[in-house]
A = this chain, B = another copy of it.
Amino acid sequence: MSGEDAPAQQQNAVDQKQETKPAEEPKAEPPKTESAEAAATPAATTEKAPEEETFTYRALVLTGFGGYDKVKLQVKKGKPALKAGEVLVRVKVCGLNFADLMARQGLYDRLPSPPVTPGMECSGVVEAVGEEVTDRKVGDKVMVLNRFGLWQEVAVVPASHTFLIPDGMSFEEAAALPVNYITAYLMLFDFGNLRPNQSVLVHAAAGGVGIAATQLCKTVKDVTVFGTASASKHEAISQGGVTHAIDYRTKDYVEEVRKISPKGLDIILDPLGGSDTHKAYNLLKPMGKLITYGAANMLAGQRKNLIAVAKNWYHQFSIHTLSLIQGNKSVCGFHLGYLDGEMELITQAMNTILDLYKQGKVKPRIDSTWHLEQVGDAMRKMQERNNIGKVILTTEPMPEEEKKEEAKKEDKKEDKKKEDKKKDDKKKDDGKKEEKKDDKKKEEPKKEEKKEEPKKEEEKNDEAKKEEK
């Protein structure tokens, strides 16, 4: 997932202010020269100047760090050049991840400085292959994993960052799978070394990684899954395999776990960071593994909240080896975004996950599908934790009527929303100064109550959506 070339792609493209329809399916594939000339000509399509100029595509671009409105839909011009080993993918669906939210706030150092196209995963169809690519061909349905640059209609990525979509898997599922399932898989089965009869705590069990982790836990005999989520999501996560659902907003999850498992837990997946990591550490059994993979506690409000960041930093867990020795404990850190160059490891994990998918043992759950124009709302839904499952974006063009309605809604709402949000953030910040810790529990119900009305009917899956139109 080096993704180093995505910025180059963007430099090739010329921003246009007006939106245009995405290009039709390409009439002809670019000439595919074989290995002989491979080293000499990095771009395989240099001959086709006319098409290069008329080629346009829509791309989401992070224009600066800040709120949801910092991600803008732009139209790029010029067909991106392909280097050896790369493929050009016509993107169908993009996945949203917490790292994208962090990145927007300037809290994720794996994203180059704006302007830049975010997006770590997508699904689509191979539209052109560069030289030296032997295992992908035009027309292949693929899912893609990259450090960034996938929230656009056309993406150029190393072929090694693509995985063939198995029969029966939709583009929606394919876009929802890579980051969450590889993350959950490597945490549970590499660091966690999950075995039968063990117990696992999954925070945010209704989130993308949470659902993936729960499903993967259930592939091992007699694993007990403790899952935290707000009460409204308990039915869903219990159906998904969580053994004990805990409402972290009204209860102390540590106490709840201890009631059922007094000795503590074998594995704890910690996406929260800060003081929750301390709690997790203390909740481990001997030989237990704490795997921390995020700092969601840093995200308070849509813009960088310096107090939340500072608090998270201040409460950041730090451990001495002598304590680890005396406790017989393991502390691991995981982030797929930092696993650059470990494509062999990732491919192994992906192959196992796809086998499990084919066996019907894992299946991504889609919370909602949004148009590129709605990326702000999509991000908000995820950040405010109103999702059950994966939030995804479709590159399918928004019908004109919907677009007009959306624009009207936006005009009216945006100003108000911004004002509200500013006040809201300020309130939270002030409030935080008074609270020492564990404020999350108290704050989040507030957020839940003042949740804005859904922007549009949630489209549970693509099929349903298509029928509506």
Contacts and interface: CB of A to CB of B under 8 A. Distances in A.
A321 B287 contact: no
Contact of A334 (B294, B316, B328): B328
Contacts of A401: none
A335 B286 CA distance: 10
Interface residues of A, number: 37
Contacts of A292: 321, 324-325
Interface in A180-202: 186, 190-191, 193
Given A190-B287, A287-B186, A325-B293, A319 B331 contact: yes
Given A287-B190, A328-B339, A319 B319 contact: yes
Given A191-B330, A287-B190, A287-B345, A338 B325 contact: yes
A193 B324 CA distance: 18
B323 A333 contact: yes
Given A277-B321, A316-B320, A318-B318, A330 B328 contact: no
A274 to B, nearest CB: 9
Given A318-B319, A322-B333, A342 B286 contact: yes
Interface string A43-76: 0000000000000000000000000000000000
A295 interface: yes
Nearest to A322: B316
A327 interface: yes
Interface string A328-359: 11111111001100100100000000000000
Nearest to A285: B342
A325 B316 CA distance: 12
Given A328-B333, A331-B331, A286 B339 contact: yes
Given A193-B190, A320-B317, A333 B326 contact: yes
B328 A287 contact: no
A306 B333 CA distance: 34
A273 interface: yes
Contacts of A322: 273, 295, 316, 333
A295 B321 CA distance: 10
A333 B345 contact: no
Contacts of A273: 321-322
A283 to B, nearest CB: 15
In the A-B complex, the 6 residue pairs with the smallest Cβ-Cβ separation, listed nearest first, are A324-B333, A325-B333, A330-B332, A193-B193, A317-B321, A292-B321
21 contacts: A190-B287, A191-B193, A191-B287, A191-B330, A273-B321, A286-B345, A287-B345, A289-B330, A294-B325, A316-B321, A317-B321, A318-B320, A318-B321, A319-B319, A324-B332, A326-B333, A328-B334, A328-B335, A329-B333, A330-B332, A330-B333
Given A318-B318, A323-B333, 18 more contacts: A273-B322, A277-B321, A286-B345, A287-B339, A287-B342, A292-B321, A293-B325, A295-B325, A317-B320, A318-B320, A319-B319, A322-B333, A324-B331, A325-B338, A327-B338, A328-B338, A329-B332, A330-B333
